Amino acid sequence: MTFKEKLRQSAEKHGSKVILALDFSDPYDARLAKAEKVLDATKGEIAGVKVNHHLILPYGLTGLSTVIGICRAERLPLIADLKMNDIEATNINIVDSLTAYGFDAVIANPFVGREEGLGKAVERIHANQGGIIFLVYMSHKGADEGYHLRLEDGEPIYRVFATRAREWGADGVIVSAKATNKIAEIRGIVGDSCLILTPGVGAQGGEASDSLGAGADYVIVGRSLTGSSDPLKAVRALNSS
């Protein structure tokens, strides 16, 4: 089963298009327990889970065994948000390590290029029954400073990244929930070949319904859930919006 199939199956099973982002900036000795608590509370109402450097750096892959175990038990696809952007040998080592420890996908930066960059890493993670998601348009305020840069022919780099996702066999793309016009535009580039995952919902100002209406497949939500006194109620509100 491909990563896209796993995510779609999970979304149908849990009746949700929400991917929970377990991003915590609490003291290091408190982060993991909070992550496990929020995940345990919401696991029946989400489509997938994303973790990034907030957890992976202080705890490592072995330290995330409980999070990984919950995701396995609930069949929730687990995404490593590493923004992978290195040479081929390192990228291959990253995807081998992630899939060996139970991750289902990794987020990568297509800027690094295909040859001796991401090309064989895409092949390897697919061989490991995993998926790869390309950064196309991020959700922070300075995103325009990078993603609107243009090549010599005038093409903005975010469109180039979307084309690379389609042509290089990426499973999905990351596009800001706050840029619904970009979601629709990028859907026109990738067609049905890539899922569109949109961060920036909630605390950053994006709306789940607007993103999904513009063509996104899933929304990535962190602080609106991880900072809630009742994350289950919060995710149910998102599912019904």
Residue 170 has pLDDT above 90, yes or no: yes
Higher pLDDT residue, 177 or 102? 102
**Exposed, middle or buried, 122 (CB in 10 Å: 0-12/13-18/19+)?**
buried
Check if 83 is active-site: yes
Provide the pLDDT for residue 167: 97
More reliable by pLDDT, 189 or 146? 189
64: tokens are 């995330």
Q: How far is CA 85 from the centre of its chain?
A: 15
Name all domains of the chain by residue range, CATH numbers in brackets: 3-239 (3.20.20.70)
pLDDT value for 202: 67
pLDDT at 152 over 80: no
What is the Cα–Cα distance from 134 to 196, expressed in whole angstroms?
10
Distance from first CA to last CA of the chain, Å, rounded?
30
Contact at 8 Å (CB) between 95 and 128? yes
User: For residue 21, which of 7, 38, 41 has the smallest C-alpha distance?
Assistant: 38
Q: What is the pLDDT of residue 153?
A: 81
Q: Is the pLDDT of residue 203 over 80?
A: no
Condensed to tens digits (0 to 9), the pLDDT of residues 99-135 reads 999 999 999 999 999 999 999 999 999 999 999 999 9
Predicted local distance difference test score (pLDDT) of residue 147: 73
**What angle separates helix 119-127 from helix 88-100, to the nearest 10 degrees?**
20
Number of neighbouring beta carbons within 10 Å of residue 240: 7
Residue 146 belongs to what H/E stretch?
helix 143-147
What pLDDT is attached to residue 204? 65
Residue 197 exposed, middle or buried by CB count within 10 Å (0-12, 13-18, 19+): buried
**In the chain, pLDDT over 90 holds for what percent of residues?**
83
| Helical pair 65-74 and 53-63, crossing angle rounded to 10 deg | 90
pLDDT band at 236 (very low <50, low <70, confident <90, very high): very high
pLDDT of 68 higher than 90? yes
Question: pLDDT tens for residues 33-43?
Answer: 999 999 999 99
Out of 43, 83, 141, 233, the active site residue is: 83
Whether the Cβ atoms of residue 107 and residue 174 lie closer than 8 Å to each other = yes
